[in-house]
A and B are shown apart, each in its own frame.
Chain A
Amino acid sequence: MTGDRVLRPGRIEPEALAAVWVREWTVFRYYWRTRTFAAVVEPVIMLVAFGIGFGRLVSHVAGIPYIQFVGTGAVATAVLFSAVFSAMFDSLYKRRYQRVYDAMLSTPVDVDELVTGEILFLGTRAGLYGVAPLLVAFCFGLPPQPAMVLVPFVGVLTGIGFAGLGMLFSAMATTFDDLSYVISGVITPLFLVAGTFFPLSRLPDWLRTFAVLNPLYHCVELVRHCAFGLHPGADLVHVAVLVAFAVVVWRLAVWRTRTRLVD
């Protein structure tokens, strides 16, 4: 391992980030249809299945019609899946099989710029995709609120964090198979215990503690507050947790990726 012998950390240059971003955007122009289809259709199906199916059994949760409860919670799910899966699978492919990262590092782009640029792009894209379930929920009677304009920002912030987590896992993995552990062991629990489908208040204490440590839970809360009324004090804490999560996984992702790409 070469973690102790890293390059002298230089400045992160905006030109380098822009170039990484342009590469991602150029590739995205070829794939936007399939990517957008997957990112939008999946939460819609989930919303319809849970909202309508389960909604027959449960009419209201925490005073909110169940489909609107799930519709707002599904924003977080959409952001999570879009950010974390792209960051895990695409970046492992680019690093190990296509070796595009090697090509980029032979230009004036350093590992920290590469990772940061990738995370910012994937996070932003995921955040914007995250709005889709909200739009669907409008069709199921969710009343639009002015504070909902904040939802894309919440989505982007959450997306940046989970793109960082995905890049970190990708840098720890050697093969695509390794990522199965992450999906079953990390992503699925994060996704289920975030207050998306059921309120955490009914959970046993230990599980509730786990949920509060789950960054996704803080995204779910923020989105619901945008839809049903902000709680400024609590919401600042939620934002702070998401920011802290994003910063920590970003640094870890840079560190792990460097040990993979620089011998």
Chain B
Amino acid sequence: MSSYPTPNRLLTPDAPADVALSMRGVMKRFGAVQAVNGLDLDVPTGACYGLLGPNGAGKSTAMRILTGQAIADAGRIEVLGYELPAQSKLARARMGVVPQDSNLDIDLCVRDVLYVFARLYRVPAGSRSEAVQRALALSGLAARADDRAVTLSGGMQRRLLIARALIHEPELVLLDEPTVGLDPQVRQELWSLIVSLRERGATVLMSTHYIEEAERLADRVAIVSAGRVVAEGTPAELIAAHAGREVVEVTGSAAELAQLRASADAAGLPTRQSGPALTYLHADRYDGEVPAGARRGASLEDVFVSLTGDYVE
């Protein structure tokens, strides 16, 4: 990889100096669907950054734009100092991508899958077997190295996808919905794997629609809705700004809740609908005005639902 030119720092003029990637006013349309609609994003170097949004919010399209597999209609994109799409290949050489759906060569054995990707990522000949061993150890798949990928469980296949993306020790790792469809034990295993990535100094950009995942792993979170960022900050900042310290949940029939909501709206009380309950946000700020109900600490979920609304794909 030494043959690649060094990146031009700061192609995006107003991006902070220590960003691993930045997107400015990025637009992408598929036919009638505006999948990405003016997306602005700055991911600080070394951070674990969560892209949190409902299904269909444009997270996966944003990820594909970052790998050059979708070309933005407008906007500026810089990844590791390279401008996209022109310098996408240079950026890809230094990043690892874990897709949402498995795209493994499932008939190959685990070791061969990793070896092939060591070649694709241009790991020098002398370090390839070492890289494969390291990836096997990291993903806990050393015992299955000679088994065909198709024989692995869903969780192991996901670990192999991650190991494959790490074979060249990338500076930036993109994880698109890393734990979707996995059981809780496997999910927690993957979380430790993601945490260990960060500890190695890699920048992680992870898209997810699981709030808990963002809350546990991400230093910073951007909440994405309808193709753009609607709020950004640390989980604590987001909760303080959009849901307050405490919330009150009031349960009732649909008619009662509709009535409560109408009067809350009239009184200027921020609420969000949460299934069979109405949640009053910033309950600490509006003491006395909020009806009686279950009081609890505000969570990122309150922020997420109140910002992304009743939007359903």
A binds B: yes
Which residue on A lies nearest to B117, using beta carbons? A107
The answer, among B69, B115, B164, for a CB contact under 8 Å with A262, is: B69
CB of B70 closer than 8 Å to a CB of A: yes
Write 14 A-B pairs (CB below 8 A) sorted by A numbering: A6-B71, A7-B86, A16-B120, A18-B119, A19-B119, A19-B120, A27-B108, A102-B103, A106-B69, A108-B89, A108-B121, A262-B69, A262-B71, A263-B69
Contact A5 B69 (CB under 8 A): no
Least CB distance, B115 to chain A, in whole angstroms = 7
1/0 per residue, CB under 8 A from B, across A246-258: the answer is: 0000000000000
Known: A27-B108, A108-B89. A22 touches B101 (CB 8 A): no
CB of A104 closer than 8 Å to a CB of B: yes
Which residue on B lies nearest to A113, using beta carbons? B89
Contact B99 A7 (CB under 8 A): no
Docked pose: A22 CA to B68 CA in angstroms: 23
Residues of A within 8 A of B69 (CB): 102, 105-106, 261-263
Contact A23 B119 (CB under 8 A): yes
Known: A98-B106, A108-B121. A10 touches B115 (CB 8 A): no
Which residue on B lies nearest to A261, using beta carbons? B69
State which residues 57-110 of A face B: CB under 8 Å.
Answer: 98-100, 102-110
Docked pose: A143 CA to B71 CA in angstroms: 58
Docked pose: A65 CA to B86 CA in angstroms: 59
Contact A108 B67 (CB under 8 A): no
Docked pose: A187 CA to B103 CA in angstroms: 30
Contact B105 A108 (CB under 8 A): no
State which residues 82-113 of B face A: CB under 8 Å.
Answer: 85-86, 88-90, 92-93, 97, 99, 101, 103-108, 112
Least CB distance, B239 to chain A, in whole angstroms = 34
The answer, among A10, A27, A106, for a CB contact under 8 Å with B99, is: A106
Contact A26 B116 (CB under 8 A): yes
Interface residues on B, range: 20 to 34
Least CB distance, B165 to chain A, in whole angstroms = 8
Contact A109 B68 (CB under 8 A): no
Known: A7-B68, A7-B88. A108 touches B122 (CB 8 A): yes
Docked pose: A103 CA to B88 CA in angstroms: 15
Contact A262 B122 (CB under 8 A): no
Least CB distance, A100 to chain B, in whole angstroms = 6
Which residue on B lies nearest to A2, using beta carbons? B71
Which residue on B lies nearest to A263, using beta carbons? B70
Contact B67 A105 (CB under 8 A): yes
Which residue on A lies nearest to B66, using beta carbons? A106
Docked pose: A22 CA to B105 CA in angstroms: 13
Residues of A within 8 A of B92 (CB): 106-108
Known: A7-B71, A108-B89, A108-B93. A23 touches B105 (CB 8 A): yes
Least CB distance, B7 to chain A, in whole angstroms = 14
Contact B120 A27 (CB under 8 A): no
Known: A262-B69, A263-B71. A110 touches B89 (CB 8 A): yes
Which residue on B lies nearest to A98, using beta carbons? B103
Which residue on B lies nearest to A22, using beta carbons? B119
State which residues 8-50 of A face B: CB under 8 Å.
Answer: 8, 10, 15-16, 18-20, 22-23, 26-27, 30
The answer, among B30, B90, B97, B108, for a CB contact under 8 Å with A26, is: B108
Docked pose: A234 CA to B157 CA in angstroms: 55
Docked pose: A5 CA to B29 CA in angstroms: 13
Contact A98 B105 (CB under 8 A): yes
